[in-house]
Structure 1
Amino acid sequence: MYVAWIVAAVVATAPLAPAPARHSSLTCAVTTPAGRPLTFTPRIGLTVRHVTARGNLQLTGCTGAATQLSSGWVSVRATAQASCTSARHVRGRAMITWFGATGRPLGTSRLRIRADRLIAQHPADTLLTGTIARGALSGVPVRGSITPPTALLGCATQGMGTLPGDGHITFG
């Protein structure tokens, strides 16, 4: 027990050194920037099709073991077989720029996005599924969710070319 506490304390105070997955945990609020939603080409619709997703996300209010990481800016690009209710064969990458409490940049992480299974309810959640491949929190699994403001019926009848939304993301 004492050894686990020492390891957790060292991980929490280490200056952006890669941390073992079993000792790292960081949770942040995630949102699309105002006026800059995620985009899908072609539009996501009722039937499954090959789609490219691109955009940016803001991470705020980060709390957990990596206390020096207060917020972040994410640039994401991924492809998937997607519809309004599912996404599979999701592949992509995201670059996360981390900021400290003072707003100064602290480093970067590269997220390898990968989701093979059928994901229901909010397919955009798959954009927050993967593993940190390089940089701060290297090797740590990532999962999260983005809740769109529009209902499923709107996506099914009109398609969805853009996605503003918010949710959360967990590293570790």
Structure 2
Amino acid sequence: MSIPESHLAQEAIAALVDGELTAGPAGRAARHLAGCLQCRMAVQAQREAKAALHDSAEVAVPGDLMSRLCAIPFTTDVAGPGGGTLSAGPGGLTVTGATGSWSVDLTPRRREHHAHSARWLRRGLTGTLVGLGVGVTALALNLPPGEAAPGRVPTGPVAGPSAPERHTEVVPPVIRTVTVGTSGLRDRDGTP
């Protein structure tokens, strides 16, 4: 049983004439063309069409063609469902039918911009940056000093291990009580 041979598709013929087929498909097409007069004639017609396009003069296009093409959606009425029409204008769409008509506004809406909103944004940003600066400064001032250089003995109250001859005296805090209704402060023992 033999499978009937099919003809080359029009896209395959155009790709073959333009040299766009890879080696495998081009070889199969060449084998098919050797035995198929109809496809050889189609390939020859494609080659003639390609040559005619390359040899043709420049095509003159009217200057207002682009503006007329762009105006088509706004100037053409389209039949709608139920015998109505749909027409488009520069500002919107209008649908007219047996039950009446309605339109849709297509003009873009501009968002109202409040002039004072940018000012508040700047103030908020400035306040945030000032707060960060103050925080970094406070942190830098409260950090302990870095480690001493090697070979150097640190001085001051944060010196190395304490010597037995040095002692620190701890003093309890002074507590004062305030009595409501009197004008002065008194200690725990009642002295002003």
TM-score relative to the length of structure 1: 0.14
Larger-Rg structure: 2
TM, length-normalised to structure 2: 0.13
Question: More strand by proportion, 1 or 2?
Answer: 1
Which one scores higher on RCO, CA 8 angstroms, separation ≥ 6?
1
- Comparing both structures, which one devotes a greater share of its residues to helix? 2
